[in-house]
Structure 1
Amino acid sequence: MSLEVLKPSILKNVALGLAQILLWGGSYFILSILAEPIMKETGWSYQMVYGSLSLSLLISGLLLPRIGRLIGENDKNFVLPYAGVIMALGLTVIGLSEHYLLFLTGWAIVGVAMGMGLYDSLFASLGKNYGKATSKVIVQVTLIASLAPTISWYLVSLLLSNYGWRTACFIYAAILLVTIFPVHRYALPLAESKGAKQPQLNDKKTVSHKPFRSRIYYLLLVNFTIGAVLTTGIIIHLIDILLDKEMAMATIVGTVAFLGPSQAGVRVLELLFSRNEPGKTAIISAVVTLLGILLLLLNPSFAILGIILFGMGNGMRSILRGTLPLAIFGQEHYAVAVGKLARMPLIAQALTPFIGSFLIEQFSVAVFLYTCCLLALINIMLFLMVPKLMPQQIELSGGMPVSMSTSS
């Protein structure tokens, strides 16, 4: 029995992309602006403030397998729409915190919201609602969401300069509270009228665990984890990398500005021209990422090109997090697969800032970049195995391959 799917809508995809901008801005990116004033007012160290974000990533990773099952096993999506409410609660607690324990509690709540509302839960919801059209929807949504750093940093900076960091948290919480729920209810309406046509995924007999004990599942788990480590490590330490090359701060700011457009640009190309299967796109993404990191090791004159290539590789990786599991595990197993595949990458992301800082402080930026190059090379070698194992996994999943062309 096949799932009934919704028809993609540009307006709905734009709405989902805007919701992702707000959710990413209220969690992953907000500390980039607020960390300094928080540290100045409270006296908390850099490690204490950014350790709170690591805690939220860890909580998100631990929760995602369960969240994926909840999305996959229920006709009503009661996870994604409420992410804004939970994140607003977390930001409110953060804004009220006078003691570090309360600050950590706020970030723990934000971590729950991140598991409920960011890419992995969104992809699981899209896969369930859009079936074979999921790839195109994911590209469109992530294209809009790629503007999250630019828009959210500007918005939070504006709030900070006018009201201070605590009030900025309260206002951002209010924005989340009034936007995220209605956007998700509009873009992903309840499927009550379609329940009779959908398979009973909450019947344990229909959800086989065999696909998640296969070689390709563990291969993807390692691939996605390495990709998350590389993305987090390079982006968090990008300023340190460029400062190590004795570049002026004004030059660094202009250089870093190429990261967002390169991620968005590759998603536009993917949307307009790509007919590659996800397995081949994964290999291209891994190679381009390695080239970008290698260029960051060279003369400062190659820094812009290195950032552009790295941004392109990371832009493709964000899409692949959604499209590759769908192509391999099929629509029926997709929501569970996305949740399971997200746990280790998020846990690794939580640890990456500490490991990266250790390598840079104890050794050098060059040692950190060489380590990243080694990981990127390993990722290429592992991704070369994916196309060979995909037919076996499709047979194991008991389904037909899902067409992932993003062309109309």
Structure 2
Amino acid sequence: MRTFPNLPLFTESRLIVAALGVTQIIGYGTLYYSFSPLAASMAQEFGWASDWVFGAFSASLLASGLASPWVGRWIDTFGAGRVMAFGSIGAAVALLACALAPNAISFVIGLVVIELASTLVLYSAAFALLVQIMPTIAKTSITHLTLIAGFASTIFWPVTTTLHEHLTWREVYYVFAAAHLLLCMPIHFWLARLTRNHHELALKAAMPIVKGTLPADRLHTGFFFMVSGFALLGFINAAILIHMLPILTALGLGSVSVLVGTLFGPAQVASRLFSLMSGNKLQPLSLAIISSGLMASAIAILLWSGSWLTGALAFAIVFGLGSGLSSIAQGTLPLALFGSMGYGERVGKSTAVRLVASSAAPFVFAFIMHWLGMGPSLAICVVVGLMAAVSFALIQLQLRASPP
């Protein structure tokens, strides 16, 4: 059964992706990218050092990672649309709870609830929705979605900063909670209603399915390498993005740090646009390997260039390109390797490990910077990126070793 019987599949998919794109921009912008511009004010109000505020944020990411497998099972059982609709309400309530926190303990609890809500509304759930309703074209739809959502950092870093010039961090969270209730919630409820029949048909095996390329005897090994690669990329992505402004400032680029940071989002979009314009000819595994190499190379450029502005600009662009391709791979590689059956739970498990690594990244990277300095810290990130590339390359060896 089609969601829109009178519309061609191409138009139908574009409409759904556009709607999801709006909610992903708001979701990532308010639940993730807004934290860094507001962290200093949060720390000042509660009398904390900035390291402890980022430590609280890391704890909240850890909690969301541990919850992701359960969320994946809910998505497979109840449908991604319903989970995302409920998540919109949860995100708004969580932002309000954090904004109303009377003390540091309740503030930390609020941060944890915010990141728990994020598992219900961000990429993992959105990718699963696309796989559930249109599995045969989900790869292209996921690329389209990441192309739109790539503007989240570009939009919300300056938006959050501008709002914070006139509002307290608590009042900024009030505005963000309203965005989830007034914009995201209606879209997600609409998608939940429209996709209900698709999910019921999928549960009855009446929908077409996509088969994975890994043979049955290599599924566990392939999954281990895939999860390891994404976890390593998640670590350096979180470490660099959360600390991007402090890193640039420490390198003597504080006056242009915002300019450098704003190039990250457009570069993400550019890489996804390239993937789209190429007709998605690059296989998901190739995207994962290339993204790992780009992110490692970007950090190496920054390490080598130091306070040279051109090098910093090149770093932001190359890192954004790698991060953009990584986002596509996170949604398409599990589908390509393992197929569409059980996609929600599988992606939930992968997301759990990645978020655990990401949750440790801000605190661990701050600790390493404090004790070893900027140069060794960036060098470690380069090595981690290369390790991710090796993990994905080992999957390629598994495929080549498969019997005909």
Shorter-chain-normalised TM-score: which range?
0.7 to 0.9
> Out of 317, 321, 325, which is 2:330 matched to?
321
Residue 227 of structure 2 aligns with which residue? Answer: 221
Query: Contact 2:24/2:122 (CA < 8 Å) preserved in 1?
Result: yes
Point out the more displaced range, 28-37 or 56-65: 28-37
Query: Contact 2:81/2:191 (CA < 8 Å) preserved in 1?
Result: no
Point out the more displaced range, 311-320 or 53-62: 53-62
Structure-2 change in CA distance of 1:54 and 1:75 (3 Å): closer
Within 2, Cα distance between the matches of 1:122 and 1:195? 14
> Out of 131, 139, 142, which is 1:127 matched to?
131
Cα offset for 1:196? 6.0
Structure-2 change in CA distance of 1:323 and 1:255 (3 Å): same
Residue 60 of structure 1 aligns with which residue? Answer: 64
Within 5 A, what are the aligned runs for 1:258-273? 258-273=263-278
| SS of alignment partner, residue 48 of structure 2 | coil
Structure-2 change in CA distance of 1:76 and 1:95 (3 Å): closer
Structure-2 change in CA distance of 1:141 and 1:52 (3 Å): same
> Could you report, residue by residue, the CA deviation over 1:71-127 in whole angstroms, capped at 9, with x for unpaired residues?
112357421112121111111111111211111121121122111111112212221
Residue 401 of structure 1 aligns with which residue? Answer: none
Point out the more displaced range, 27-36 or 358-367: 27-36
| SS of alignment partner, residue 340 of structure 1 | helix
Query: Contact 1:87/1:114 (CA < 8 Å) preserved in 2?
Result: yes
Alignment-mate amino acid for residue 350 of structure 2: L
Residue 184 of structure 2 aligns with which residue? Answer: 180
Cα offset for 1:200? 4.1
Cα offset for 1:39? 2.5
Are 1:285 and 2:294 counterparts?
no
CA RMSD of aligned residues (A): 2.5
Structure-2 change in CA distance of 1:283 and 1:394 (3 Å): farther
Within 1, Cα distance between the matches of 2:79 and 2:25? 26
Within 5 A, what are the aligned runs for 1:2-401? 7=9, 8-75=12-79, 77-194=81-198, 197-200=201-204, 214-247=220-253, 249-273=254-278, 274-299=280-305, 300=308, 301-390=310-399
Query: Contact 1:262/1:308 (CA < 8 Å) preserved in 2?
Result: yes
> Could you report, residue by residue, the CA deviation over 1:277-303 in whole angstroms, capped at 9, with x for unpaired residues?
111222221222222111111122422
Point out the more displaced range, 61-70 or 299-308: 299-308
> Could you report, residue by residue, the CA deviation over 1:157-179 in whole angstroms, capped at 9, with x for unpaired residues?
34333332222212221221122
Within 2, Cα distance between the matches of 1:100 and 1:256? 29
Residue 205 of structure 1 aligns with which residue? Answer: none
Query: Contact 2:264/2:316 (CA < 8 Å) preserved in 1?
Result: yes
Within 2, Cα distance between the matches of 1:107 and 1:32? 13
Within 1, Cα distance between the matches of 2:345 and 2:361? 25
Within 2, Cα distance between the matches of 1:163 and 1:281? 41
Within 2, Cα distance between the matches of 1:319 and 1:142? 7
Query: Contact 2:238/2:362 (CA < 8 Å) preserved in 1?
Result: yes
Structure-2 change in CA distance of 1:75 and 1:143 (3 Å): closer
Structure-2 change in CA distance of 1:14 and 1:306 (3 Å): same
Structure-2 change in CA distance of 1:193 and 1:281 (3 Å): closer
- Structure 1 gaps of 5+ residues are 202-209, 396-408
Alignment-mate amino acid for residue 355 of structure 1: V
Structure-2 change in CA distance of 1:88 and 1:216 (3 Å): same
Structure-2 change in CA distance of 1:212 and 1:118 (3 Å): farther
Structure-2 change in CA distance of 1:119 and 1:211 (3 Å): farther
Within 2, Cα distance between the matches of 1:166 and 1:265? 34
The total of aligned residue pairs comes to 384
Alignment-mate amino acid for residue 366 of structure 2: S
Alignment-mate amino acid for residue 229 of structure 1: F
Query: Contact 1:328/1:393 (CA < 8 Å) preserved in 2?
Result: no
Within 2, Cα distance between the matches of 1:145 and 1:333? 25
Structure-2 change in CA distance of 1:335 and 1:368 (3 Å): same
Alignment-mate amino acid for residue 134 of structure 2: Y
| SS of alignment partner, residue 341 of structure 2 | helix
- With the length of structure 2 as denominator, give the TM-score of the two structures: 0.88
Within 1, Cα distance between the matches of 2:131 and 2:197? 18
Within 2, Cα distance between the matches of 1:236 and 1:351? 12
Within 2, Cα distance between the matches of 1:76 and 1:5? 15
User: Percent of pairs identical after alignment?
Assistant: 28
Cα offset for 1:261? 0.9
> Could you report, residue by residue, the CA deviation over 1:41-65 in whole angstroms, capped at 9, with x for unpaired residues?
3323313322232122111111111
Alignment-mate amino acid for residue 158 of structure 2: Y
Structure-2 change in CA distance of 1:196 and 1:32 (3 Å): closer
- With the length of structure 1 as denominator, give the TM-score of the two structures: 0.87
Query: Contact 2:36/2:242 (CA < 8 Å) preserved in 1?
Result: no
| SS of alignment partner, residue 331 of structure 1 | coil
Within 1, Cα distance between the matches of 2:352 and 2:340? 20
Query: Contact 2:132/2:199 (CA < 8 Å) preserved in 1?
Result: no
| SS of alignment partner, residue 82 of structure 2 | coil
Within 2, Cα distance between the matches of 1:198 and 1:131? 10
